Every structure is written in structure tokens, then in C-alpha cells.
Structure 1
Amino acid sequence: MGKVISLLNHKGGVGKTTSTINIGAGMAQLGKRVLLLDLDPQANLTLAIGAQRTPITVYEAMRGEGELQPQPVKENLDVVVSTLDLSGAEMELINEAGREFILQELFAPLIEDYDFILIDCPPSLGLLTLNALSASDFVIIPLQAEFLAMQGLARIKQVIQKVKFRLNKKLQIAGVMATMFDGRKVLNRDVVQTIAKYFGPLVFETRIRDTVALAEAPAQRQDIFSYSPNSAGAEDYLNLSREIIQRVEQFEKQMAAQS
């Protein structure tokens, strides 16, 4: 059964969408079957990966108009696209019974088809994000290596804990990843050290370096492995993908030993 991972940070500009795409592409490079789900009304993942709009996007599916429609991006990698219409979903679904579990139900027919489902969450902590967390096994928090990016971390952790307590007992934080990292900058190093003090071993060892290729790839509607396979960005995301897979496997072994 596939594992569902949400990438979540309610602060924009931290590399969440870039990370969702390239972690997914990295896992696909490693032979895993991966589905990306664009749950952001801005539809940046859909645009950045060059996916075409399907008759049923995540918006129509959440409204009950049909099932999710994955489309292939490359070998081992599919995507469910988003649309700006999704921005109205929170108000439209507010009176739906079990509204926090709509996405979980939509995943049911697909969960056996993939090793990993990665959700690009919106930069907010509303109903869409609650749906993602309710459907997820794990959360990854991308964090830009800048001081302001650390603000609100306690709030994110609090929301995850509440969802775990009230809606999804199996939810765990898989890790925190540092993005846009420049080891020459004292501030960047200090921020990573501060994160490590707060989250301890949950911080991934791999840091995503700030490289031009990662900014250029979305403009070409490509992941970093297709656009610049020999770049530092491709190296970092492949290493991070390995680290995530290993960590998820460790969590699963621990859970199996406890049961």
C-alpha cells in the first residue's frame, strides 16, 4: 500500500512546490511509482511540471463530480492537476459532512497503484490542508534557511498534533528539510542549527543548495532531473529522496515491531 506524504508550510516561497516535484521525480528515478497531487489553488505544481488540465481536476473530484484523474508525466511519475477554481472549495465544502476526509476517500481507489503519493499543500492551514493531513501518513516541512522562515514553526507543529489527535492517529512528521541553503552564509548555517535544536533527528541531513538550475527548471516545465541531471540540485534531491524512502521504511519497521 502506498504511503501518502504532505509537504506543508503555511509560509510561501520556501520551495514547497519545487520540492514536491523533485522529490517525486527523485523517487521515480529510484524506481518508485509516484503520484503528485497539486492541492494548491495557485496550481503552481501543475504549471511547473507542464501538465495539461484534465476534465476532472482535484477541484471537481473534491466536489464529488468524479474520481481523481492521474496523468503520466514521465516513467513512474503521474500527477493530478489543480486549477484556480480550487480557491472556492473551502467555502463550497464547509457544510459537507465529513469534509475533512474527502481527499482520503478519493485516494482509496489509487493507493495500491503507487509507492508514494506526494501532496503539494496550499500555503494556509484551512480545509484543504486539513484534508491533506487527514489523508497522509507523513508530513515533510520544507523550510527556507532564513530567519523569517522559522516563524510559525510552532504553529505548524501544533496543527499537526491536533490533526493527529482528532482526525488521523497514524500521522507523523517524517522530517524537516532545509531549502535554498548556502553554506557560505553564517545565517543559513545558524538557521539549520536552530532547526536541529527544535526538531532534533527529524531534520534531514541533505540540504537543498540554492542553485540557478532549480529556479530555471519550472520555466521549462521540467523537473530538475530532466532539465539539468548533473546539477547540484539534482544531486541534492536524489539524496533527499533516498533519505525519505529510508526514513519511511524505518518508521514502518518501528510500527510493525510495536504492533
Structure 2
Amino acid sequence: MLLAVSTNKGGVLKTSIATSLASIYSQEQKTLIIDADNQGNVALTYGRNPDQYEYTIYDVLAQNVSPEAAIDKINSNLHILPANDELAFLEFDVLSNPNDYPKPFHIMREKLTPLLASYDVIIMDAPPNIGLITGNILSFVQDIIIPFQPEHYSMRSFIKMLEVIDNFRGSHNKNLKVSGVVGTLVDSRTVLHKQILEQCEEYCEKNNIRMFKQIIPRSVQFANSIAYEQQPAVMNRKKNPATEVYFNIKEELDNGKK
């Protein structure tokens, strides 16, 4: 499986979804998380300092470093390809040297495809915008999960993201598909959240897009787990309502592929 968690909005639990799903999959399958966001939050999730790596995804994409040289092994089954602030320079490199990058949206496909043979599951954490890196992700992966936070203007951002995905499917990656949309940071007590979630569900149904039945409510447990235990809460193997949601999303994701 080659999956990205992506949307053009920040603060909607992209990294939490990517790292939690990867941590769950790694319990039985060899799994890699590729951090494509220069904030470096994947490394931080597992207690690493992203600024202390000798090599990151930037070196793989722009400096011809092999991806294996940049991989950090969290444990035997869970590895990460980290990112840090250097990734922000990739767009400048590409724009400044067009002769070196004749296919600017295919850089990841060219550099990262060899990793597919080494992992059962690869999950990418995308940046919170639509640009060169997101374009590369959409040209490379097979499946997209879109987090959807039910706030003002969310539907507009969501529809724009779907338009971008459709464009890349037609121009760069015919195999790209939306695996599903998941509601995040949901407060079911508010009328606004219920109304916007209903709008999203109606839009998805009308356009034949799956919306996960499981939503992710607001919770401080994951933040506490990363701060104090330096790992996603799902790695504690303690089932509770806050962690169960990610196991349910993984189950829905798997069932959708059968």
C-alpha cells in the first residue's frame, strides 16, 4: 500500500493520522512513513530531533542521496524517512534549475520508487498546501486520505483539493484515487460541526467518494502521548475511545480495498 494523508489545510491531524495508521500497520507489516512536510513532525512524534539528521528526504530528492541512507529505524518494523526545514528549499532548487528537473512533478516517483520493494506499507505525511511537493506526492502515491475538519470554509478547501487530485489523475497519475475522507477534531456537541459534516457527507455521496464512518474527536491524549512518551498513543496497545478511532479507520481502509 502506498498512501498519502493530504489536504490543503494545516492543523487537521494529518501527521496524527499518518503516524497512527503507520504504527498500527507496523504491528504486523513492514512499514515506512515518509515525511514530506518541512515541519518535521513525524520525527518529533517519535522523539527524534529533525534538525539532527545527517540526511533527510531533501537530500534524497535534491542531492542524489540514496533513500536507504536517510531512513531512521524506529523499530524493526517501523521506519521513517524524515524531513526538516531544508525541504522548503526544494522548490527554489527546481525553479532555479529547470534543466536539472525536466519533469518537476515526477521527482519523488523517480527517487522513491525503489523503496516500494522493501515495505508492505508506505504512508506519506503531506504538507498543508498545494505546491510542488504536494504535486509530487499526488504523482507518486496510489491512495489519498483527506482529513476534513468541519469549520468555516472547510467545504471550499475540500472541493479545491478534490479538483487538484482530479487534475493530477488526468495529467500525471492515472492510478491515483481517494481512499476516503475522515472527519477530524469533531465536536459533536456543536450544531456547526454537525451541519458541515452533513454537507461533506452529502457531497461525498453525490460524487461517489467514501467518507469514513469513524470520525476523530477532539482529544488531548495524543498530544500528551507524544510529549511524555515520544510515540503515538496507539503504540501503547491500550485500547480506549481515543485510540480506538484509529484502529477503526485502519479497519475501514482495509475493508475498502477488498
Is the TM-score greater than 0.5?
yes
Structure 1 residues 213 and 76, CA gap change in structure 2 (3 angstroms): same
1-structure distance, mates of 2:15, 2:102 = 30
Cα offset, 1:108, TM superposition: 2.1
Residue 190 of structure 1 aligns with which residue? 195
Q: Percent identity at matched positions?
A: 26
Residue 21 of structure 2 aligns with which residue? 23
**Residues 140-185 of structure 1: per-residue CA shift (max 9 Å, x gap):** 1011132333331111011100100000010001110011123333
The answer on 1:203 being equivalent to 2:211 is yes
Structure 1 residues 10 and 34, CA gap change in structure 2 (3 angstroms): same
Residue 253 of structure 1 aligns with which residue? none
The answer on 1:77 being equivalent to 2:82 is no
List structure 1 segments (4+ residues) > 6 angstroms apart after TM superposition. none
SS at match of 2:74: strand
Residue 112 of structure 1 aligns with which residue? 117
Q: What aligned pairs does 1:106-145 form with structure 2 within 5 A after superposition?
A: 106-145=111-150
1-structure distance, mates of 2:86, 2:102 = 21
SS at match of 2:114: coil
2-structure distance, mates of 1:155, 1:192 = 17
Unaligned stretches of 5+ in structure 2?
none
- Matched to 1:197, the amino acid is E
**Residues 22-64 of structure 1: per-residue CA shift (max 9 Å, x gap):** 11112223x1322101100111222122235442210010013
1-structure distance, mates of 2:31, 2:47 = 17
The answer on 1:49 being equivalent to 2:57 is no
Q: What is the aligned residue count? A: 246
Unaligned stretches of 5+ in structure 1?
251-259
**Residues 81-111 of structure 1: per-residue CA shift (max 9 Å, x gap):** 0010111111112211122111112222210
* Equivalent of residue 231 in structure 1, options 226, 230, 240: 240
Residue 253 of structure 2 aligns with which residue? 244
User: Residue 150 of structure 2 contacts residue 186 of structure 2 at CA under 8 Å; is this kept in 1?
Assistant: yes
The answer on 1:166 being equivalent to 2:171 is yes
- Matched to 1:45, the amino acid is V
Cα offset, 1:70, TM superposition: 2.2
1-structure distance, mates of 2:173, 2:135 = 10
- Matched to 1:91, the amino acid is F
- Matched to 1:161, the amino acid is D
Cα offset, 1:11, TM superposition: 0.9
1-structure distance, mates of 2:223, 2:204 = 28
* Equivalent of residue 212 in structure 1, options 217, 220, 234: 220
- Matched to 2:242, the amino acid is G
* Equivalent of residue 152 in structure 1, options 148, 152, 157: 157
- Matched to 2:112, the amino acid is F
SS at match of 1:180: strand
User: Residue 148 of structure 2 contacts residue 158 of structure 2 at CA under 8 Å; is this kept in 1?
Assistant: no
Cα offset, 1:75, TM superposition: 4.7
- Matched to 2:42, the amino acid is L
User: Residue 211 of structure 1 contacts residue 232 of structure 1 at CA under 8 Å; is this kept in 2?
Assistant: no
